[in-house]
A and B are shown apart, each in its own frame.
Chain A
């Protein structure tokens, strides 16, 4: 009579005898919250306290101005594990910058770290002085030095910025990198649609033009259509904690397993933790991931969704997808792209996503969407 019940009780708290993988314990350092980072876009309107910023008009152009400071700090990368990081404004990944095509991005950069740093943007930069490399412009900035970088926000897409000081491997993997998102200007898309798809100008139909403009509006944070989309930034990174030239921790947005379940018995039951919990998403909303690969020491990284296929826009520089209906994409270092997800036909529940290098997944780059 009571056997079945006793059996199920046993399973609910007994835990699997095989043990469970995943980082033990919760995060105690709450300075950085990967769940908040997903949605933190700095457009110049003061979105983040630790990123002084402003937006104004100058010579008929919108300027988005940010103050960046490189500092030496420690970041928590797994429960109980501190990593000595070099970070823009104290966070890894660095603050996400967002602008609209054609804007001027002005970054007032001050180096407060012990080593010389720069900021190198992966943008179409017409002034080589602004490239943020040791051999050009102001070169590397020593401790206490400042420089104001100015970049034209082009092309549309999801881009990467990082320190270009040498040794490059160390300056990147210590944490000096982040994402820049350039939204399309719908008016410009209407005028030059061929620049946003793989068709020749002669092939552009009115219907295609309208589709491209509509898609551009969903990407532009100043359009009401953009509010319909849930946008997330994921910077895939890793940390070599013991200096052996290989990463001990892998993650999307720094913290191992931060988007994992808090606790599970391995038999289908799980509980969200305080700091380790799935990303909750609304199944009726369109989901977009701005994915950037910042991994050091490994040749590639990847993004794989369970029970789901998506369209992928490599570098985000087109409004028509570069890959349709795939469940895995691969990126080399600095490669990035936009992932468009639709869970409207899925039952509510947990959907896993992770790097499909098993090693990376088991070392922290293992996450879940909780579709509600």
Chain B
């Protein structure tokens, strides 16, 4: 007993009682069978003959190290392997040293995917590389070199304040300055405004390329158990799809006649979000370099960041250059969304830098930016030609400007 049904033009035959079962039972059947087979495996061990007693190799990674004071080294480790590992001895600069494993339930054994801190009382020398090796019970060693050690700043209000001030100067102020081009953008012809939008897309494209490579690079430091490369890919595609679905929802609303959903303000916010996520990652990089004592935030570096980020201002406001000028509150909101994440990133980076978190934020930023580029292209083609000679050239100029200013901010 079936009746024809239509779904997007495709005719399907819907069966009310597949295999003569109620619908819910048909949905649960495969899961139930899987459960039975899995249970049967534990009960009957049919592959016992294949168990040659082979042992998986231990896989332990050092995610990062902190140096809370001049006589302590803290090594953060994660067990990536499928079996537990025991840290039996610790070598510092090729000498057995006493140590304490914290956060592994009181012993030196790490369950799969468990992380712990190995605290070593060692009077290290600032700037002198320190090699630490963890020796597991089977004699395998996990080596980690702390390059040019420097004291980790630790959580102080002074640090939070410092990172906030840095974030203000390298993030919020340049974006705000860039947004002051708004009246000038308003006075432009469509042709030149489109060129500016293409320039913005070029800027964003560079950020996506830059952050993408960085995300995959950082993904290699992610403990194996978290599949760094897959995590980065997931972050990029996930963010792209999330922003795209919100955008599709907005278009539906606009088509239904919602005036707010039609304005360029929406795209401006998307651009601000994409740039904000990029700046969050930028903040993470500054913060972690700061935490490692690797950065001297001299005037040159701050000016470099300002040059780099000032171009992000017009990118944010260009989409609202036509039509009604949004309220000043929207401008503040856009500037905050694009620039302020540097501060948040700085805090996160200097306090608890983890490559996993860093790679994920970078990936999400890349995904968001890719969607925004698509959005800008649509915006231009609404009343113009996206791939005009002028637009392509300004797109390229955007890429080049970012590349050149990026050279000033090598951390």
Contacts and interface: CB of A to CB of B under 8 A. Distances in A.
Interface of A: 15-25, 77-83, 239, 241-242, 248, 256-257, 359, 362-364
B99 A24 contact: yes
Contacts of B99: 24
Given A17-B71, A21-B95, A362-B94, 18 more contacts: A18-B71, A19-B98, A19-B122, A21-B96, A21-B98, A24-B89, A24-B98, A78-B89, A79-B88, A80-B89, A82-B137, A239-B139, A241-B135, A242-B140, A257-B96, A362-B95, A362-B96, A363-B95
6 contacts: A17-B123, A21-B95, A25-B88, A241-B141, A362-B95, A363-B95
A232 B71 CA distance: 40
Give the size range of B's interface with the partner.
20 to 34
B86 interface: yes
Contacts of B92: 21
A248 B140 CA distance: 9
B321 to A, nearest CB: 63
A298 to B, nearest CB: 13
B97 A21 contact: yes
B90 interface: yes
Closest A-B pairs by Cβ, 8 of them: A241-B139, A80-B88, A362-B95, A19-B121, A18-B123, A242-B141, A23-B96, A21-B95
B120 interface: yes
Most buried by A among B89, B98, B99, B138: B89
B281 to A, nearest CB: 36
B65 to A, nearest CB: 15
Nearest to B122: A19
Q: Which of B92, B98, B108 has the most CB of A within 10 A?
A: B98
A248 B141 contact: yes
B386 to A, nearest CB: 57
B71 A248 contact: no
Interface of B: 71, 86, 88-92, 94-99, 108, 120-123, 135, 137-141
A248 B121 contact: no
Chain A binding surface, main DSSP class? loop
Nearest to B143: A242
A25 B91 CA distance: 14
A128 to B, nearest CB: 38
A279 B327 CA distance: 85
A81 B135 CA distance: 8
A18 B122 contact: yes
A332 B71 CA distance: 38
A160 B397 CA distance: 77
B278 to A, nearest CB: 41
Contacts of A248: 91, 135, 139, 141
Nearest to B135: A81
B135 A19 contact: no
A15 B121 contact: yes
A20 B97 contact: yes
Given A24-B90, A78-B89, A241 B140 contact: yes
A80 B101 CA distance: 14
A29 to B, nearest CB: 12
Nearest to B96: A23
Contacts of B121: 15-20
Given A17-B121, A81-B89, A242-B141, A22 B96 contact: yes
A80 B120 contact: no
B342 to A, nearest CB: 38
Contact of A22 (B94, B98, B141): B98
B123 A20 contact: no
B102 to A, nearest CB: 14
Nearest to A18: B123
Contacts of A239: 139
A19 B99 CA distance: 8
B3 to A, nearest CB: 69
Contact of B89 (A17, A23, A83): A23
Given A17-B121, A19-B71, A80 B96 contact: no
A362 to B, nearest CB: 3
Contacts of A19: 71, 97-98, 120-123
Contacts of B71: 17-19
Nearest to B123: A18
A19 B74 CA distance: 13
